[in-house]
Amino acid sequence: MSSSVYRTSSSPSRSSRSPTPSTPTTTVTNVRRSGRSRKAPVTYELKALFGLDKESNDTPNHSERETSSPASDAPQRATLHEFSVASQTERGPWHNTNISKLLWTRALRGARSSHDDIRATVSSNLKLSKWWKGASNDVSALAWSPDGTKFAAGATTQPDEYNRKNNLVFGDLLQNTLHELPDHNIPRKSNIADERLFATLSAIQWVGQRLYTSSYDHTVKIWDTDTTPFCVRTLKHDSKVRVMAVSNLMPNLLATGTEQAFSLWRNPDKDGQEPESLKIYRDPRQKANIVLEPTVLAWGPNAATEHYLAGGMGERGGDEFKVSLCGQLSMWRVTESSIERRKVRPDSQNIFDLKWHPSMRRFATASTYSQSMGLPLRTRSVVQIYDILSDDKFKVTSQFACSALDMNDVTFCPMDTTYITASCTDGSTYVWDNRNPARAVHRLRHGTSVNPLNPDYSREATDFGVRVALWGTTIDQFYTGGSDGCLKQWDIRRSTEDALVANITCLDEGIMSGAFSQDKSQLLLGDFAGGIHVLSCEQSSDPEPLDFRPAPEPSSAEEPAVPLANELLSTGQLTLHPIFGPVQGPCYKGPYAPWARGLPKDATQVQHVPLLSQYQLRQFDGPSLEDRHELDQDSRQELQCHLNLARARHARHTQSGAAPQSSENDRKRRRDDRTSNSDGGEDNDPIILDSDQGPSFSPAQKKTDNPKRKVKSMDLKDREKKKKKKKKNKSHVITRVENAIIDLTVDSDRESQPASSSPAPHQQGPPLLATLKGLKEESEDEDEDYWWPDSRQVDANLSHDEVF
């Protein structure tokens, strides 16, 4: 609003509001555009309300104002006007909300403008209210529910040993909870404790009470969010789902983009639905060996563009520090019964981003630059605006050259259609005016990245730059967030030096994503280190963490293996050997080892080909070692070690068919119940042995006359019993192999050593013999304790050089 200057005449005259007609002595140099004169405010207590009349507590009434002189009335109105201009200039997020100022605006400009000012003031007062950290990786996809009380956040994942869960979480602000949704995963191929490999979330969109999520696990999942979210439908694809778009205006239309193609799903909520292929016609001048993958997909947001679907592609792979120039821009017109492809020119550039105008028949693309566009030589990327003509043809009406190497996000200003922005990887956001597209109006810069960068390359080749570009409720509320961790608010109407309004918040990690709720009262941010931050306009104290509730762990893989093992035994595929345990049965159906039969890997009917002789001689179940004359000395020695180990490990299970009982060694490993009265007497109080201080007795034993004699007699009886037990189980002791004495005995005084001092678990082949030879020999007169590795520590998969 332009300021009006009030000037008083030199000669005194009556006020213009006096009932006596006279010529006005006050003139306005700048009139309003409508030509109407400014109306006086109807709130007559403004002086007392804003403290303009501190010298006198008496407020003049209506009659006194009519009879006051012009000389005294003009300065008063000028003061009120100066205050109105000051209040409009100072209004912004860096000042606290002042109800008095809002009342003054309502009285001066009307109720509608006051409502807009209240909404703008409230929505600009964003402060951090809730937070959580623990997502699988970068939080790159965010979405709000229509009522603004729930949200969903998706993160990227690592496909290696650094893979973590929490790739999709669901938040409820009313309950202050955050739930894990672990459904987007695939079976892990490597032998790791967690059998699930969590996949990257590529896109999230909320439509009504349905939440749509796409992932690299080749699926799109549809969730019901009325209460606790649960998956109601899974749409399977042939490869990674990189982009997804759900139509807000045309119900039951879902478009997806996999690694090389686009698809359309009609009525995805129903069973048995198959996707329709969206054909892509590439420019014949492009090389055929260039592989393109989808980068963006978007439906038209208004009634004039609701039938249009736009998709962009870029070249896959290549140098990670360079941007490929090849790509594709496609357009389809989707109706209830047909899919029509529309030609767009130019259409063979690498598309970084695509946005539809919220109310007009146009869209903008951020892409690479080609010389055919006729832009300045220093141009490396370009923003183009395509308008839809009356005959459903698309024409480029504006081009904005940019010196940045790569772009992240392009936006239309919803308050003024002449402004368009592009946020880039060089840490800056460029603003253009469509009325003068030759040069950018602003270059809004962010600080240096908080993440370490490769010094051998420029920042825009290694940094992700500015990833968030959002508009609030007014034109002075343009928010950007980037790798410096700061969320900034700009006013693009000012000069570049004064465009920064405020730093709303500064995080410890770079900002990767952002999303406003529908009423713009809450802002959700995702950072580079798996953090989620909720900024709210509500006045709150210190930020509080969200109550995270992880999903229940899946049932162990051992539980379903028990019925499976019983089924294999009952069908004869496996048999239970009395010494070696489960082995191949007469009805065994595989799998087989083709290489052990001299066949190629892709051979069929492997079961009909016998094993090679060198492997047949090394089988567990067969003739004695003395009868296997074809084996050399080393193979015979290695096989003997395996046979001895198998007999020893299964010895407890083969005694009279009884269930395995806890051995003497098992009791000695439990220090709390180390020993007991072994003579079968009534006195069962334990004796606690200590290698440093000798035996200590329980209170009941201290009352005996000669406790030492009792302990001595117990030691003699224990020794005799253990010697008998040793002779009884003599057949299960590992025999000597050549000059190496293999005696798996452990001293009872050494059992308190840490677990790291125990023999290493068996791996494969020769390490088994080295492990057996490494066990120490103990004297015959000491208590002997035969210890064997647990079954879980021995790898059952034998290598090429080992026994089958």
* Structural domain contains residue 383: yes
Q: Using alpha carbons, list the distances in angstroms from residue 136 to 37, 547, 563.
A: 62, 17, 34
Beta bridge partners of 534: 130, 524
CA angle 354/412/124 to nearest 5° reads 125
The answer to whether the CB of 631 falls within 8 A of the CB of 639 is yes
Based on the fold, state whether residues 298 and 209 are members of the same structural domain. yes
Distance CA 676, CA 678 (A): 6
Structural tokens at position 408: 């992240």
Residue span of the structural domain in which 378 resides: 193-510
In a domain, 723, yes or no: no
User: Is residue 207 one of the residues assigned to a domain?
Assistant: yes
Please tell me the pTM assigned to this model: 0.60
Sequence-distant contacts of 775-782: CB under 8 A, at least 24 apart: 775/742, 775/743, 775/744, 775/745, 776/743, 776/745, 777/741, 777/743, 777/745, 778/743, 778/745, 778/746, 778/747, 782/747
Q: Are residues 265 and 388 in the same domain?
A: yes
DSSP 507-535: -SS-EEEEEE-TTSSEEEEEETTSEEEEE
pLDDT at 112: 54
Tell me which amino acid residue 434 is.
N
pLDDT for the residue numbered 105? 66
Same domain, 92 and 204: no
- Mean pLDDT of all residues in 36-56: 41
Q: In terms of domains, do 346 and 433 share one?
A: yes
Of residues 258, 280, 257, 256, the one with CA closest to residue 266? 256
- Of the two residues 657 and 395, the one the predictor is more confident about is 395
Domain assignment of residue 799, yes or no:
no
Q: Report CA dihedral (762, 763, 766, 768) to the nearest 10 degrees.
A: 10
What is the C-alpha to C-alpha distance for residues 457 and 347, in angstroms, rounded to an integer? 30
**pLDDT for residue 674:** 37
CA angle in degrees (0–180, nearest 5) for 288-294-300: 125
- Which of 510, 544, 575 delimits the end of a domain? 510
pLDDT at residue 371 is higher than 80: yes
| Residue corresponding to tokens 């893979």 | 163
Q: In the listed set 98, 123, 148, which residue is the last one of a domain according to the structure? A: 123
- Asked whether residue 632 is assigned to any structural domain, the reply reads no
- 117 shares a domain with 13: yes
Task: Kindly state whether residue 670 falls inside one of the protein's structural domains.
Answer: no
> Per residue in 788-798, pLDDT tens?
555 555 555 54
Most confident of 60-64, 463-467, 569-573, 675-679: 463-467
Residues 423 and 285 in one domain: yes
- pLDDT given at position 157: 95
pLDDT mean across residues, the chain? 74
Distance of CA 515 to the CA centre of its chain: 15
Q: Is 244 helix (H, G, I), strand (E, B) or coil?
A: strand
Query: Do 107 and 239 fall into the same domain?
Result: no
DSSP for 307-328?
TEEEEEEEE-SS-TTS---BEE
Kindly state whether residues 116 and 240 are assigned to the same domain: no
Residue 547 has pLDDT above 70, yes or no: yes
Cβ proximity of 236 and 195 under 8 Å: no
User: Hey, how many other C-beta atoms are within 10 angstroms of the C-beta on 749?
Assistant: 13
Pick the last residue of a domain from 123, 140, 168. Answer: 123
Same domain, residue pair 254 and 385: yes
- Total domains in the chain come to 2
Dist CA 565 CA 579 (whole Å): 18
Judge whether 401 lies within some domain: yes
Is 315 contained in some domain? yes
- Ranking 77-86, 370-379, 466-475, 496-505 by mean pLDDT, the lowest is 77-86
Q: Are residues 203 and 103 in the same domain?
A: no
Q: Answer yes or no: is pLDDT of 560 > 90.
A: no
| Start-to-end Cα distance in the chain | 90
pLDDT digit string, tens, across residues 753-770: 443 333 333 334 445 545
> CATH code at 450?
2.130.10.10
